[in-house]
């Protein structure tokens, strides 16, 4: 779950970009615990591009992919601080 594209970041990014998709997962507590933590990571990763490039950055074609990559790195960095 740490530092690779299978870590759940793509799912969390998709939920971040489409919050309505979260509702069906809300009753699955074990999955929700993981996704909630990853959503915090995605929100943190999303702040930098917004600050640097403005709100139009979300319209760029590779925004989702770059947000996934930034989320993976952010997740790995936050996890390594716990060790």
- Going by pLDDT thresholds of 50, 70 and 90, the confidence category of residue 80 is low
Do the beta carbons of residue 83 and residue 57 sit within 8 Å? no
In a domain, 59, yes or no: yes
Q: Assess whether pLDDT exceeds 60 at residue 2.
A: no
pLDDT at 19: 92
Number of other CB atoms surrounding residue 58 within 10 Å: 14
How many independent structural domains does the chain possess? 1
2 domain residue, yes or no:
no
3 located within any domain? no
- The sign of the dihedral angle between the CA atoms of 5, 6, 9, 14 is positive
Q: How many CB atoms lie within 10 A of CB 15?
A: 20
In a domain, 4, yes or no: no
pTM attached to this predicted model: 0.80
Rg, C-alpha atoms of the chain: 13
Q: What is the structure's pLDDT at 8?
A: 63
Residue-level pLDDT at 81: 62
Q: What span, in angstroms and rounded, lies between the C-alpha atoms of 80 and 25?
A: 28
């Amino acid at each position: 779950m740490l530092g690779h594209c299978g870590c759940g970041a793509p799912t969390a990014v998709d939920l971040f970009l489409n919050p309505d998709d979260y509702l069906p997962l809300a009753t699955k507590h074990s999955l929700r615990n993981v996704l909630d933590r990853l959503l915090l990571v995605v929100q943190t990763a999303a702040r930098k591009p917004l600050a640097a490039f403005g709100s139009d950055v979300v319209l760029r074609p590779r925004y989702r992919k770059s947000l996934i990559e930034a989320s993976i790195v952010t997740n790995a960095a936050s996890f390594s601080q716990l060790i």
